[in-house]
Amino acid sequence: MPPKTWRNMYGNVEVFNQLEGQQTSYIQNPESADYDIYEEESIYEPIHGLEVTNKRTHHERTPRVSVLNSTRRNKARILLVTLAALLTISLLLIFLLLGLGFVKYSALIAELQEITSENGFLRSYASSTFQIFNEAHNKCAEVRDSRYITAVPCDTNSTGQQFQWLPGGRLLSMATRRCVGAPKKASKLPVYLYPCSEHSELQRWECPNDTLLALRGAELYFNYGNTPLMLVILYTRTGPWSRWVIHGTHNSVCSWSCEGSSPCQRGWAFFQGHCYYFSHSADSWGSASQWCLSQASVLVTIDSKEEQAYIAEATRTRFFWLGLTDQRSEGSWQWMDGTALSGTRYWAENEPNGLQQENCGSTRGDSGAWQDVSCLEKIQWICEKKV
């Protein structure tokens, strides 16, 4: 054994050895309390592992939420783009419709201006209205079905029987605002109504004599033939079926044409330096007088045998007012201008005979002679004015 002093000096070696032995036993003894505590801690490893797993799961889920949010943002972006596209398309459609509407509106305005211009043209250059009358059959031409023309009993109130001359020898139907024409220059073809054209030779008419109405430049006449449909046709014959005058007169249909050399306005007839208007409607003596005054004329004054013959021939089947009255003083007949009736008179036999009940003068349809009639009767009238 070493000396005591050596042992004291190195006593700490024993302690060290003891401690070393304890440390060794701690490492080698699996049943020590400290190891049990370690084992106890190891029991909770699954919990710690679970926590880690949960943390991992949380970290793993975070990208999924981001992806979901990104998907939602993409959908919202797509929706906004779609809405923007729809809005753009809607605006384009609106502008397109507005453009089409403007074009249509401009076309309507142009059409209205054209119609207004045409109406002004007609008022300035068209003749007065008249009826085309066939004396042999006592019928007037009338538009039927907006296309054809036939002959029916005359009716002054029928728009379908009213015609008007336009420049260029064109006949206008007042009922349809179309012109009388033919499909071609051939006999036995119906006369039709077409949109008026200045350039159509098949819409131009002329009168070879006082009672014929023919397609210009052709021996084809306006004819009310004995056809199954009873239509007006073009025909080469010039018999009674082809003879027409202005209803209420014996004047040629072309006498009111816009292209004659007459110094009178359209619709007025010229005779010995005067213009005469033979009305187609009927009214009282006072109203007829006012109408003539509105046309810068007066009810006719007859002051010569020639004039009486002209008036009698022109009014041979109708009664017409004259500018003759004794309303101021019974039995004292005078003309519109106040001139007393004197000289040659053309009263029919036993006329005037109405005393105070009949104070206005008119022609008689059978002879053209004069008679007195109640001023309230409604008959046709004759206006007169100097050229």
pLDDT digits (tens, 9 = 90+) for 48-100: 444 444 445 444 555 566 666 778 788 888 888 888 888 899 888 898 888 88
Contact residues for 141 (Cβ-Cβ < 8 A; gap 6+): 131, 132, 133, 134, 149, 150, 151, 161, 163, 222, 224, 232, 244
C-alpha span between 280 and 300 (Å, rounded): 16
- Which pLDDT value is given to residue 74? 81
Q: How many alpha carbons fall within 13 Å on the CB side of residue 181?
A: 20
Contact 98, 91 (CB under 8 A): no
Contact 180, 203 (CB under 8 A): yes
C-alpha span between 323 and 285 (Å, rounded): 9
Helix (H, G, I), strand (E, B) or coil at 322: strand
Contact 164, 126 (CB under 8 A): yes
C-alpha span between 146 and 144 (Å, rounded): 5
Residue 369 CA to its chain's centroid (Å)? 50
Quote the mean pLDDT of the chain: 79
- Which pLDDT value is given to residue 194? 95
- Which pLDDT value is given to residue 37? 42
Q: Tens digit of pLDDT for each residue in 143-185? A: 988 889 999 999 988 999 999 888 888 999 999 999 999 999 9
- Which pLDDT value is given to residue 144? 85
- Which pLDDT value is given to residue 65? 60
Contact residues for 240 (Cβ-Cβ < 8 A; gap 6+): 134, 135, 136, 137
C-alpha span between 88 and 234 (Å, rounded): 63
Strand pairing of 380-386 and 320-325? parallel
| 26 pLDDT more than 90 | no
